[in-house]
Amino acid sequence: MKRTLYTSLVAVLMVLMLLLSACATDTTAATTDAAATDAAATEAPAASTEPQYITKEDLKADIDAGGTGYIILDVRKAADYAQSHIQGAYSADVDPTISNSDDATSTANLKAALTAATGSETGNGDEQFVLVCYSGKKYAEAATGLLQQIGIAAANLYTLEGGQNGWVDGGDDYAALMESGAAAPAADAAATAAPAQTAEATVTAAVDASEKLLTPDDLEAMLAEGNVKIFDLRDAEDYEAGHIPGAMNINNKQFENPDNPVDGEIATPEQFAALMGSYGITADDVIVTYASASKPQMAPRLIWTLECYGHTTTYLLDGQYEAWANGGKATETGATPAVEASTYEIISTENDINVDRDYVVNKAEATVLLDCRPSDQYSGETVADGNARGGHIPGAVDVNYMDAVDENGFFLSVEDLTQLYGSVGVTADKEIITYCQRGHRASHTWFVLTYILGFDNVKVYDGSMMEWSNLEELPIETGIPEGAVGTLDGAAAADGAACE
Residues with catalytic function: 436
**In terms of DSSP H, where are the helices of 56-215?**
56-64, 78-83, 95-100, 103-118, 138-150, 163-168, 172-175, 186-192, 206-209
**Per-residue buried b or exposed e for 413-450, using 16+ beta carbons within 10 Å of the residue's own CB:** bbebbbbbbebbebeeeebbbbbbbbbbbbbbbbbbbb
Which of 185, 101, 186 lies closest to 145 in space, CA to CA?
101
Judge whether 488 and 404 are in contact, CB under 8 Å. no
Cα 142 from Cα 110, distance rounded (Å): 11
Judge whether 107 and 149 are in contact, CB under 8 Å. yes
Q: Which residues contact 111 (CB under 8 A, 6 or more apart)?
A: 121, 122, 150, 190, 193
**In terms of DSSP H, where are the helices of 151-227?**
163-168, 172-175, 186-192, 206-209, 216-225
What distances in angstroms separate CA 472 from CA 34, 103, 479, one per listed residue? Answer: 103, 76, 19
CA 345 to chain CA centroid, Å, is 33
Judge whether 195 and 122 are in contact, CB under 8 Å. no
Question: What region, left, alpha or beta, does residue 294 occupy, with left being phi > 0 and alpha being psi -120 to 50 degrees?
Answer: alpha
Which of 353, 488, 479 lies closest to 421 in space, CA to CA?
488
Count other Cβ atoms within 10 Å, centred on residue 306: 23
Judge whether 112 and 75 are in contact, CB under 8 Å. no
Cα 311 from Cα 283, distance rounded (Å): 6
Q: Considering just the CA atoms, what is the radius of gyration of the chain in Å?
A: 34
**In terms of DSSP H, where are the helices of 245-371?**
269-278, 298-308, 320-326, 357-361
3-state secondary structure of 154: helix
- Kind of pairing between the strands at 354-355 and 397-398: unpaired
Q: Which residues contact 156 (CB under 8 A, 6 or more apart)?
A: 123, 126, 127, 128, 129
- Kind of pairing between the strands at 477-480 and 71-74: unpaired
